Chains A and B, each alone.
Chain A
Amino acid sequence: MEADLQRLAQAVIDGKRKDAAELTTKLLDAGCNPKDVLEKGLIAGMGVVGARFKAGEFFVPEVLVAARSMKAAMGILKPKLAGADIQPPGTIVLGTVRGDLHDIGKNLVAMMAEGAGFKVVDLGVDVTPEKFIEAAKEHNANLVGLSALLTTTMINIPDVIKAFEKDGQREKVKIIVGGAPLTQEWADKIGADGYAPDAASAVDVCKSLV
């Protein structure tokens, strides 16, 4: 069974969707604990993908196909996990801020965070401050991720932070920010709790904040 778990991790790393799904089915049919399939197979595989991405050995397309393989496997695994009492390390509400339609960076963070076991609520692009607050409340999120690609839209990030303050929700969530034009200095200036220069680092920041 250990060998199949390693094969499953490798299928995720290689982005082999069909293999990942078949191995997941095989492991579950053989009586493997769903938690082990998740942690030793899928999360382990995505962990390697994240590390290689961070090291510059993998690029965005490799991460996306790996995430897609994990998703295919999760489709099979999820019903079995329902009774397994697995708590995600955190819940992150994620989106690209108002006025910005770019989503590659935000999608990568979502995939990497899911790959690390977080529950991810992806609100998509052009998200208003109100939607972020509403989703954070609804899903009892402890993390909020705000993304912007353009210098002309990054200025909408502080509006979200202010909206959380105004709504009395600021203490309940840690807010992390990211996107090409952003810097640590700017993130500090606007009162964000964390800043990540890339998707793999974003997951590390999430882990450090929960």
Chain B
Amino acid sequence: MERQFYIDLANKGLRMPIGTDLVLHEKPDAAAIILDGERLGGIIEEAAVRYRTPLAVGLMDLMLEKSAMLEMLGITAGDIPTYHFHEWPGDHLFKKVSGPGAGPFNRQLQAHIDAVAFVSRRASGLIPIGMTIGPFSLMTKLLADPITPVFMAGAGTTAEEDPEVALVEKTLELSTLIILRSVTEQIKAGAKIILIAEPAANRVYFSPKQLEEGADVYERCVMRPNRRIRELLEKRGVDLFFHCCGDLTDSMVRDFASLEPVILSLGSSRKLWEDASLVSPRIVLYGNLPTKKFYSDADAPLEAVKRSTWEIIGKMHAAGHPHILGSECDVLSVPGAESTIREKVDMFMNCTCPTF
């Protein structure tokens, strides 16, 4: 797609949540739907139609690639959520997850891909958006303590000197390979945009102090693997929608912008109108209402949602940067708070703003 397409959407005042999870959990058999590509595709379509957007965003399930990969490696399903590598099993793993002899995807990742294909096939005017976790974030899910060795790597410790640093490097490569494979399949299924969710690329996993002192570990661990995905998208003519809802430094925001996504989505800890100066006006900023707090009427009363909507729209207008108003992440359905969350999403979708 032409970059201008997204800028035009922003200029037309598009508002939308990443709302697939909300719609999914309205169904009594959500757990079955996520294993059925056609039905999941239907949910994605329903969410796009309900929220009046041409962007059909897939379900943001950040366990998909981890589960699929570990199943290929023979880890039993029950152990997968808490499974970590404590030492590197060997480079043969690379071939097991990627390349000609690699195992098939599990049912859930296949359904995720089939859902993209469903939306693509329907030719309903919706743009199918694939979704993947970012390589760094996936790596953090595969190690018990990824933070310390990443810090050590930033302090100059090499893989040869320390097995934990080596484990980070190998696991990051493994993560990148499975993601490249997942993204490739989603593109084959018809994805026109890939959303990379890289929430761990933040100030918790990286010390701003160390980065300010000149460490290149953010470049090595976050940016390089994401550039490899970016290159794949470029080759295949697919756009990048980059998302990180973590707590970020300005430098991290600039780094994300250097990937030249068509849309950059940031968490509510950022002031988008200030970030506008860090990001090219060719990149649409997306977000960033504090939707993680929408479950609470004390922390996010309806009136405050309206005020925040006005504030973001007004200040982004003043900043002159293309912007799509939306959520700070996918809006999760919280049991017991479904109606208040929906009400607040409806508020930011529909409330009228003062004219600027």
Contacts and interface: CB of A to CB of B under 8 A. Distances in A.
A and B bound? yes
Interface of A: 15, 57-62, 64-65, 68, 101, 104, 107, 124-126, 150-152, 155, 180-181, 183, 185-186
7 contacts: A59-B209, A60-B203, A61-B150, A65-B148, A65-B151, A104-B147, A152-B332
Contacts of B337: 151
A112 B210 CA distance: 21
B152 A155 contact: no
B298 A185 contact: yes
Contacts of A124: 82
Nearest to B145: A64
A48 to B, nearest CB: 15
Nearest to A99: B81
B61 to A, nearest CB: 12
A61 B205 contact: yes
Interface string B94-112: 0000000000000000000
Contacts of A61: 147-148, 150-151, 154, 205-207, 210
Interface of B: 81-82, 145, 147-148, 150-152, 154, 203-210, 292-293, 295-296, 298-299, 332-337
Contacts of A65: 148, 151-152
Contacts of B334: 151-152, 155
A61 B292 CA distance: 25
Contacts of A155: 334-336
A125 B148 CA distance: 19
Contacts of A62: 151, 207, 209
A68 to B, nearest CB: 6
B205 A60 contact: yes
Given A65-B152, A104-B204, A60 B336 contact: no
B207 A181 contact: no
Contact of B332 (A125, A151, A185): A151
B207 A60 contact: yes
Nearest to A150: B332
Given A64-B145, A65-B151, 5 more contacts: A15-B151, A59-B203, A60-B147, A61-B154, A181-B292
A101 B299 contact: no
Given A61-B147, A64-B148, A180-B292, A152 B81 contact: no
